[in-house]
Amino acid sequence: MSQRQACKAIGCCRMTVRYQTTRADDTSLRQRMRAIAQEHRRFGYRRLHALLKREGYLINHKNGMASTLVAARART
């Protein structure tokens, strides 16, 4: 059965099946953020962003905020 026929049979778009993400792997960044958050529990996402920027990480402020929330959940 071809991909086109299979997608038509299950009712989904072929582009959904063929999608390849281009997102960068940021596991080292997340691990470092968790380490800083464990070390300095009172630091917010802005201060963590500043520290990571000083260490040479390229991080978007929106991504940093989301990662900080994940790190905060891991602390509890």
- The number of beta carbons lying within 10 Å of the beta carbon of residue 71 is 19
Going from N- to C-terminal start, the domains of the chain cover 25-76
Model pTM score: 0.58
- The CA distance from 57 to 53, in Å, is 5
- The CA distance from 1 to 9, in Å, is 10
pLDDT in tens, the chain (76 residues): 899 999 999 999 999 888 888 877 778 888 888 888 888 888 888 888 888 889 998 888 777 677 666 666 666 6
